[in-house]
Structure 1
Amino acid sequence: MDETTTPNFINYYVKSGRIPLRRAGLPEEIAAAALFLASRECGYLTGAGLVVDGGLTITL
């Protein structure tokens, strides 16, 4: 963890209701997105960002 992923930072966004899924992401969920980006299934995806944030960015 660094200064942007401390428990206080995560708890702030979860408790304030800013994350629509109402919880922090699990390491496995982030890993699944990374694996997708490295997989053959992602072979035709170019120039796109994959946002894995539980919906946080739609509330900002």
Structure 2
Amino acid sequence: MIGVEHLAIHDSHRRIHLKLLDTPSLPPARKALIRREIDQATTILDRSREQSQ
């Protein structure tokens, strides 16, 4: 279960990975992994927003 106290961690994780994705020398496999990590964090953050409304 993810609580409100965990949202800041997921938000930070997402922002860090978005910055990493801008690194031009990353291999395609690493970029794919980063995109999956971003998608997972985004899903968690979106669900938390839906439940708070």
Q: Which has the higher helix share?
A: 2
Name the TM-score, length of structure 1 as normaliser: 0.32
Taking structure 2 as the reference length, the TM-score comes to 0.34
**Higher Rg:** 1
